[in-house]
Structure 1
Amino acid sequence: MTIQMNRRTVLTLAGVAVALAATNPLVAQERALRLAFIPQENPEKLLGDIEAVTGWLTGEIGVPVEGFVTIDHAAAVEALRNGDADISFMGALPFVLAEAEIGAVPLLSEVYRDAPSYTGRIFVRRDSGIKTLADLRGRYIAFADPISESGYLYPLAEFINAGLIESPEKAETFFGRVYFAGGYQQAMQAMAEGLVDAAGASQYADLLLTPEQQAEVTWIAESEAIPSHVVIARPGLDDGVQTRFVDAMMKLNQPENREMLRYLYGPDGYVLSDPGAYDGVREMARRFGLL
């Protein structure tokens, strides 16, 4: 069958396309919604999790959703800056830096143990003989990421508060060596396997170890409360796109969808983000010369 298309037909179809773009901002965007994930855990496992999450979100939002793993927090911020990512999952400190540098917008905050906050801890092996922060003088320590709040800044601040280190720049004068492992799991594994003497990571980072390893580690210091990880959008992302994404993510709080949370770093759920909740992180960043 041959379809004859005259000028009026073409104009009508063009009008439909314009109308669709106007009512569906994702159509106007003309590409998939791209999500950036930071490697808090094994990147290979995370890739499988991303595939499950983006598949579910595609069904909920109605357009293709793609995800990729960045090298670290800084790479996620750069992806937002360049438009390579529309939305990113990241920690509170990288968000504060992205907010200052590129005007990133907070959308959602994670909830853990019924609270939108958590802490950073210094973990050691139980058989190490290390009981206090002072015992780590001259020892090796692994942190998760140089712009991670619970995986670096807040745990390191405990050494400063204890008078053991003057500033982050002077950390090497106290420790024998400081490493950045690239994620919580990597830092914890390095400590658990004896490659380093301690690890600075989230209070829940020991859950990334095997049950046998969990029984062999403990923590000796804990930071003040930190706002939980946040989901942020690049500046200029269409408001309608943001709304549809947030609506889909909030559905994860519903009993029938909660199984999907295990693919998103395992929070208990999400709440709408309160920019004011990150004032303490902004102050910490200023204190350490990051803002």
Structure 2
Amino acid sequence: MTLRSILFASAAAAVVATVASAETWNLAVTDVEGLERLQTEWGPFKAALEKATGEEFEFFPVNSRTAAAEALRGQSVDFVITGPAEYIVINALTDAEPLIGLGRPDYHCAIVVRADSGINTMADLKGKKVAFGDIGSTSNMLCPMQLMADYGVNPTTEIDKVHTSRNIAHEALKNGDVAAIGTNATSWMEGPRAKDDKVPYGFFKILARSGDLPNDMIVVGSHVPSDAAEKVKTAILDNKDAVIDGILSHEENEKYRGMDLVAIDDAAYDIVRSMYRNAGYPQFDQFIGD
């Protein structure tokens, strides 16, 4: 073999080795259905993720939280973007672990009442109708119910709870059809409350509010080798500005404006497990509302 042939063979082998070293991982997002939406809303994030890690990622569409859990358990998907409430069940069913936290600014919940209602303590809500948001939502159901429990009111037995959209709940509270709403505080303030010019400032009051809630996250399947997961985590944290820009490229991800990307672990989500228990779901083996 000539020297030229040897050099060519060595170069070719190096290219093959480089290609072989790159992995292709499947990525799902639990609250986005369909490949077209995934590509539109999360495509720039995927591109930034690939550039940061040197790995390839393929979108894996799922039509429900249950489907995401089944895909993780079947090793059809490797990484999933999801929320705190979803994570608790996903972890229980699949042993998937949190990898990166998607910090959401002002992510907390509140119990809101009318200022003229005469309701001044949580105990005043006993026996009254309280509206919550989507069944199973971290900030619109589980967190407000935890707030009630923290103040000595059992949300499963001592109130008349209903579930509806945030806009309908706001109107029901304004009209006196419910005594209180449990809601994502920022979404209510910047949404229905900010748009409602029919009532003056001070018409409503916040009876109680939570601390900041645990982050949304990227979880990694238990089948993914730990060194590969660590490589992805390190690359994201080392290139967080570019990855954040990718997330914020689409208006559907506006809730993350001002976000940070942080390393997280499972213990940070014990508070959400407490929320499940207080909502009457102590087993963590099913998605509430499915």
Q: TM-score, normalised by structure 1?
A: 0.65
Q: Distance in 1 between matches of 2:96 and 2:232?
A: 16
Provide the aligned length of Structure 1 versus Structure 2: 254
Query: Cα distance 1:138–1:278, how it changes in 2: closer, same or farther (>3 A)?
Result: closer
Question: Pairwise CA RMSD of aligned residues?
Answer: 4.2
State yes or no: 1:188 paired with 2:166.
yes
Cα distance, 1:102–1:280 mapped onto 2, change above 3 Å = same
Question: SS of 1:226's equivalent?
Answer: coil
Q: 2:23 aligns with which of 15, 22, 25?
A: 25
Within the alignment, does 1:139 sit opposite 2:129 as a pair?
Answer: yes
**1:200 lines up with 2:185 in the alignment:** no
Aligned amino acid, residue 212 of structure 1: K
State how far apart, in whole Å, the 2-side matches of 1:221 and 1:213 are.
21
**SS of 1:178 mapped into structure 2:** strand
SS of equivalent residue, structure 1 residue 232: strand
Alpha carbons of 1:78 and 1:257: their partners in 2 closer, same or farther (altered >3 Å)?
A: closer
Spell out, residue by residue over 1:20-60, the C-alpha distance to the aligned partner (whole angstroms, 9 max, x if none): 5752232xxxxx52222326xxxx98874223323433444
Deviations 1:143-186 (A, max 9, x none): 2332x433322311233344443x63x3xx621x522x5xxxxx
TM alignment of 1:29-108, pairs within 5 A: 33-38=26-31, 48-62=40-54, 63-66=56-59, 68=61, 70-71=63-64, 73-108=65-100
Structure 2 gap segments, 5+ residues each: 1-9, 285-290
Q: Take 1:217 and 1:233, find their aligned partners in 2: how far apart are those partners? A: 42
- Alpha-carbon distance, 1:275 to partner: 2.8
Q: Distance in 2 between matches of 1:47 and 1:17?
A: 29
1:119-148 per-position Cα deviation (integer Å, ceiling 9, x unaligned): 322245x588484543584435132332x4
Preserved CA contact (<8 Å) 2:101 2:215 = yes
Q: What is the TM-score with the length of structure 2 in the denominator?
A: 0.65
Quick one: distance in 1 between partners of 2:116 and 2:50? 48
SS of the equivalent of 2:223 reads coil
Change (3 A) 1:189 1:65: farther
Aligned CA distance change for structure 1 residues 248 and 226 (closer, same or farther; 3 Å): same
Decide whether aligned partners of structure 1 residues 284 and 25 sit closer, same or farther in structure 2, where only a CA change above 3 A counts. same
Shift of 1:87: 1.7
Counterparts in 2 of 1:103 and 1:66: CA distance versus 1, 3 Å? same
Does residue 1:249 correspond to 2:229, yes or no? no
1:178 paired residue number: 162
Could you say which residue in structure 1 is the equivalent of 2:270?
A: 279
8 Å contact from structure 1 (residues 104, 233) kept in 2: yes
Percent identical across equivalent pairs?
Answer: 19
1:235 aligned to 2:235?
Answer: no
- Taking a change above 3 Å as real, the CA distance of residues 89 and 258 of structure 1, as seen in their structure-2 partners, is closer
CA distance in 2 between partners of 1:46 and 1:155 (Å): 30
Per-residue CA deviation, residues 212-268 of structure 1 (Å, 9 max, x unaligned), is: 2497865332235532222211210244543454345325633x6643343554152
Q: Secondary structure at the match of 1:227?
A: coil
Aligned mates of 1:118, 1:191 — CA distance in 2: 19
CA distance change for structure 1 residues 55 and 20 in 2, over 3 Å: closer, same or farther? closer
1:269 Cα shift? 0.9
Secondary structure, counterpart of 2:99 in structure 1: strand
1:150 to 123, 136, 139: 139
Report the 3-state secondary structure (helix = DSSP H, G, I; strand = E; otherwise coil) of the residue aligned with 2:246: helix
What's the counterpart of residue 4 of structure 1? none
Shift of 1:209: 1.9
CA distance in 2, matches of 1:283, 1:36: 25
* 8 Å CA contact retained: 1:89, 1:231: yes
Residue 104 of structure 1, CA deviation: 0.8
